Structure 1
Amino acid sequence: MADIPLSADRPAPPPEPRRPASPAGRDPARTAVATGVSILAVLIGLLFLVWLVLFITKGRFLKPTFERIASSATERRVRVAGDFQFYFDFIDIKFLADGLTVSNPAWAPRPNFFESRHIETRVKTFPLIFGKRRAEFLVLDGGNVDAEWDKQRRNTWTFGDPNAKGAPFQWPVIDRAIVTGTTARYVDPALLLETDIKVDTVRASGTTITDNRINFSGDGTLRGKRFTMNGGILSPNSTVTFGRTKLVMHAQSGPTLLDLNGVLPAATQIEGSDLNLTVRGPNLRLLFDFLGVAVPDTRRYRFNSKLTKVGGEWRFTRLNGFFGASDLAGDMTISLPNDRLKIAANLNSRSVDIVDIGPFIGYEPNALAAKGATAAVAQTGAAPRIIPDAPLRIEQIKIFDAHVNYKVRDVKQPFVPVSNIALTFDLDHSLMKLSPLTMDIADAGHLASDISINARVPAVLTDYNIRLSPTPLNKLFRKSGVFNSGTSGTIKARIQMKGTGDTVRESLASSNGRIAIILPRGTFWTQYVQLAEFDIGLFLQKLLQDQLKKPIEVNCGLIAFTVRDGVAAADPVLIDTDKNVMTAKGGFSFKDESMNLAFRADGKKFSLFSGQSPVGINGHFAAPGYQLITPQLLARGGAALALGVVASPIGAVLAFVDPGDAKDAACGPVLSGARAGAQRTTEGEPRKDVGTGKGPDAQPAKKKKFLGIF
């Protein structure tokens, strides 16, 4: 197709519209930044304006607002009677109020929790934003604080719901303080504590305190015991200029004295403190009575330690001192987990006097020190008693828990050598455990025990479990001189009993269980064994031959008792030697501490002159008696006299002849600690000479007849 030429009068297409050109150099990102800066500048300007208004006016116009907001937040009546200031002193908050009062909850006996003539402080702003209360300084004049708990564990310083459980008091950290004419009252019915503290007037000029000491004093009662206290800050100028605070304090309750000195990080901050504590007095129990903690009586004591507070714990470290004639060192922590007092300690002693151990089982230490062992004997009617009857302080142990590790290197005493005591004591809601309690005996044996005292039940239940490993007798009794190196015999023992009662005496007097002392094979001095057997013929023979120190052989031995309701019956007493079989019947009673035992020895070989009568042990634990001339021996002596008259002197001797028909004991049941019914002769026959273990009466065995005559 041929091109159609444009007509000269045909209109041209309209031109496209042009976009307006952007201003040269404008960037959208820069615009956003500029906008942000402008807004920030406005905010800063507004804040500066607020700061300027508050700084110029000192925020006095905020007084009604402060009273309204503070009253609403605390649910208390908050009022300022005089001048009020609230503003930013540079960046920190400055607060001043004259005649400030904060009311108490309705249940409190006093109208106001806090009141003052003048209070002024500056609080660090940034720590406050993060929940930390820290003031650069505090000026308080004419202040009164009523800090009080009630029996429902509400307190006056927990704001909000007046019936809510109170929170522990936490001091705000104050770097420096000037407090004049101020008193504080603290009441805690749970601790039975009430105290009033007064801070003496201090004159100040700028940052310099013209007096060299800020004094405080106070008094009060704790668990019914009055105490006084006084002290001071010894470096007030250093304190005012943000230095560490040197503190000294003295407290006294009767004969109990306490001294405290050291450094606090800040005027009101105990956390992280470095303090030195010294306590002394005539009886450590009086000191712990302030805490309501039951400890035994002691003789005079003195202890030093470092003291600090970390979290909720009061830590006593590098503790050292003495009680009575015993030393003590270690560390201790006192805390209140779940609002319940707990004591944790690791203690050790190089040397402990036996007198100072007495109170731990119920004996009075000063009496023991003055009178010796006789002080442990109490006269009850006509019978002396030695088992302690000091009652367990049940009400005191209900209010605290404890975990104590205690080690003793050596015990000073004139009896059995004891060393390396290790004790773990636990108290958990009135359940006490001494487990384990171990010690070395005579440098060769080892005693281990587990004792629990359950005071959770109405009738306190005590469980005794005591084990003695094989111990050489010559070492065990080396201080008594009973045995010498010629004795190679050993002894081991086991005690298992349970009883009820809140004293050692009551628990033993109601106990049930078993006591077993085992003598494995060994040698002993002839002198003491033959005297116990009262074999006069053999004794005289050995004496004439100068062989009293020649050892005799013990094949095996068992001294055992079954305890029923506090009464122990021999079950059995059986000692087999190379020449005799010794047995005993009878027993003893924990109820009145009486004893009634009859020992006798039957010879395995012919003896020309033998008493052949029981040796009696009677009396009481504190005053035992021995009966060598028994009715059986007197009867035999009468028969001998009759024979001597009727027949001849030879007939008199025949009354004391022992034919030597005693049966060897099977040592298996003896060494296993079996009861009387399980004992056998070496031929396997049941033994009839060891009793039944069912009664305490010591009925001596009938005398043996010789030739069917006697």
Structure 2
Amino acid sequence: NRLLIQGGLITLDEQGRNIKLEAVINAREGSDEQAGFHLDGEGTVNGTPLTVMVRGGPFINIRRNRPYIFHGEIAGVGTRLIADGSITRPFDLGHFNATLKLRGRDLADIYLLTGVTTPNTPPYQLAGKLTRDGSKYTFADFSGRVGSSDLSGDLVVDRVDERLRVDADLRSRLLDIDDLMAVLGADPRVTPGGDTVASSGAPGRLLPDAPLNVERLRVMDGTLRYRAARVKRNDLDVREVDIGADLKSGILNLDPVAFAFNRGELRGTAKINATRDMPYSAIDFRLRNYPLESIIPARDGVATVTGRALGRARLEGPGASVHDFAAGSKGTISLVVPQGRMRAAFAELMGVHVLAGLFKLDDESTAEIRCAVADFTVSGGTATAKTFVVDTTPVLATGSGTIDLGAETINLRIDGETKEARLIRLWAPILVRGPLTSPKVDLDRGAVAAQVGVGGILAALVNPLAALAAFVDPGLAEDANCGALISSAR
């Protein structure tokens, strides 16, 4: 009726995840704090420190029909797991119940401890009920925080046909959009106030450049559903999020990927083939009824343009990160505004009518946008304008140029033609150039200088009134065929 263990030693060398551990076991009867079962281990996980501690009651108290109480802690790779539970039928380790608390710097790190692939995240802290029933583990009704967002849900891990399978149903009452960006590969940083700030990972870049770990996607299958009921105030005005995922044999299908805005939504699907050394992805996203006021900022508190935008992006290509995928992608990108309104001064400025466009920018009257269509063909990560038309009541503007998705820069030229005769007008294209995060809008000053030079020559050789001939515009532009343009872009 006694079991005594002194200086028992367990050595573990798990080469798949590079875990090395040496643990000492002691067990004896008694009522002091040294009595009972003690396991204390130290080692490394992927070269970083690992500690393991397990405590249980004296073996003399064990009964077949009474659970055996234990406390366990594991700390390594920036992660700490604490479990308080019981083995349902001593010592059948295939069945137990426990309250599990886990916290760490990045949920992706738990792969090295558990073999379960999870996405990169900001620092997290979660707690719930963990049960084991043979090969099936259930982390039920857990809750906590990931970055600045709350997270709750249920997670089931099992082995099906000798493959690891993970099924998760996750929810947030209030999501910080920067935490979601970290999951997509952005670089998370926690501010002193506890909020998460996510950047692309490279200064000045818009698209995340963290690489996808394809090896981890190949070792498991599973499903995910994530819904955020509300989203903290953000620049994009996202209000709700709904994401579904299905992973099987190294192919990840995301359906849906949906973002609801205050007005409008972005919804689509994505497929990532991780069976290759270099992942190959395809996306199809549609933008519906997104307000132009959220794209183009107001001027002096008054909206520059109003209306609803429709859009679609269909892209495919190789790339280990979101940025690399965009930089090597092919496909199409379209943006359509079926109707709206624009401040009259800005509409005139597209035709560079000097008096109305340049000198009356404080004019708050509006002009109708009959239609606006931007249709790009993408090849090698460069989007080239196939159709670029902005048709307003006073001006028809057409554009050309490119958007480099790899360098994240824009280089567009917009030429405007007035629909009414103007006495004073400059034939000068508008140039939109620079990084996508902060493009610059300016006139082609070379074209302006050339026209002013013509006027000066005429004035000198003929008479002062003849100089006006350089700026007389008869107004030859006609309305665009909006129906045909919109139909082709969709």
Same fold at TM > 0.5? yes
Selected match of 1:416 from 211, 233, 236? 236
Unaligned runs of 5+ in 1: 1-119, 121-138, 143-179, 676-710
Match of 1:481 in 2: 298
The answer as to 2:26 corresponding to 1:200 is yes
The answer as to 2:312 corresponding to 1:494 is yes
Q: CA deviation at 1:221?
A: 4.1
Match of 1:608 in 2: 423
The answer as to 2:184 corresponding to 1:357 is no
Match of 2:249 in 1: 429
AA partner of residue 253 (structure 2): K
Alignment of 1:263-302 (within 5 A): 263-270=86-93, 273-302=96-125
Contact persistence 1:518–1:673 (CA under 8 A): no
Match of 2:219 in 1: 399
Match of 1:323 in 2: 146
CA distance in 1, matches of 2:57, 2:348: 77
Q: CA deviation at 1:572?
A: 0.5
Q: Percent identical across equivalent pairs? A: 25
Structure number with higher relative contact order (C-alpha < 8 Å, ≥ 6 residues apart): 2
Contact persistence 1:181–1:201 (CA under 8 A): no
Q: CA deviation at 1:211?
A: 6.3
Structure index of larger Rg:
1
CA pair 188-660 structure 1, distance change in 2 beyond 3 A? same
Contact persistence 1:306–1:316 (CA under 8 A): yes
The answer as to 2:59 corresponding to 1:252 is no
- Measured against aligned partners, the alpha-carbon deviations of 1:191-233 in whole angstroms (never above 9, x if no partner) come to 54454444313136xxx99965432222344455442111212
Match of 1:509 in 2: 327
Match of 1:230 in 2: 53
Per the alignment, in what secondary structure is the counterpart of residue 471 of structure 2? coil
CA pair 292-233 structure 1, distance change in 2 beyond 3 A? closer
CA pair 423-238 structure 1, distance change in 2 beyond 3 A? same
CA distance in 2, matches of 1:434, 1:338: 23
Match of 2:399 in 1: 584
CA distance in 1, matches of 2:182, 2:276: 24
CA pair 568-245 structure 1, distance change in 2 beyond 3 A? same
CA distance in 2, matches of 1:318, 1:273: 17
Contact persistence 2:64–2:90 (CA under 8 A): no
Match of 1:661 in 2: 476
Selected match of 2:357 from 529, 534, 539? 539
AA partner of residue 513 (structure 1): G
Match of 1:440 in 2: 260
CA pair 228-283 structure 1, distance change in 2 beyond 3 A? same
Per the alignment, in what secondary structure is the counterpart of residue 631 of structure 1? helix
The structure where strand makes up a greater share of residues is 2
- Measured against aligned partners, the alpha-carbon deviations of 1:70-114 in whole angstroms (never above 9, x if no partner) come to xxxxxxxxxxxxxxxxxxxxxxxxxxxxxxxxxxxxxxxxxxxxx
Unaligned runs of 5+ in 2: none
Match of 2:380 in 1: 565
Per the alignment, in what secondary structure is the counterpart of residue 347 of structure 1? strand
Selected match of 1:450 from 266, 269, 278? 269
Q: CA RMSD in A?
A: 3.2
Per the alignment, in what secondary structure is the counterpart of residue 660 of structure 1? coil
Match of 2:207 in 1: 387
CA pair 254-373 structure 1, distance change in 2 beyond 3 A? closer
Contact persistence 2:286–2:313 (CA under 8 A): yes
Q: CA deviation at 1:652?
A: 3.5
CA pair 472-255 structure 1, distance change in 2 beyond 3 A? closer
AA partner of residue 265 (structure 1): T
Contact persistence 1:608–1:658 (CA under 8 A): yes
More displaced 10-residue stretch of structure 1: 614-623 or 480-489: 480-489
Match of 1:68 in 2: none
- Measured against aligned partners, the alpha-carbon deviations of 1:275-316 in whole angstroms (never above 9, x if no partner) come to 111111222222233334554433321111110012321100
Contact persistence 2:431–2:441 (CA under 8 A): yes
Contact persistence 2:28–2:58 (CA under 8 A): no
Contact persistence 1:181–1:199 (CA under 8 A): yes
- Measured against aligned partners, the alpha-carbon deviations of 1:415-447 in whole angstroms (never above 9, x if no partner) come to 121122111122212211211111212x22121
Q: CA deviation at 1:412?
A: 2.8
Per the alignment, in what secondary structure is the counterpart of residue 497 of structure 1? strand
AA partner of residue 668 (structure 1): G
Contact persistence 1:239–1:266 (CA under 8 A): no
Contact persistence 2:27–2:35 (CA under 8 A): no
Contact persistence 1:418–1:440 (CA under 8 A): yes
The answer as to 2:287 corresponding to 1:468 is yes
AA partner of residue 234 (structure 2): P
Q: CA deviation at 1:260?
A: 0.7
CA pair 183-354 structure 1, distance change in 2 beyond 3 A? same
- Measured against aligned partners, the alpha-carbon deviations of 1:603-638 in whole angstroms (never above 9, x if no partner) come to 001122222211112233345333324211111122
Q: CA deviation at 1:261?
A: 0.5
Per the alignment, in what secondary structure is the counterpart of residue 161 of structure 2? helix
CA pair 377-318 structure 1, distance change in 2 beyond 3 A? closer
- Measured against aligned partners, the alpha-carbon deviations of 1:49-77 in whole angstroms (never above 9, x if no partner) come to xxxxxxxxxxxxxxxxxxxxxxxxxxxxx
AA partner of residue 317 (structure 1): A
CA distance in 1, matches of 2:153, 2:198: 33
CA distance in 2, matches of 1:233, 1:402: 34
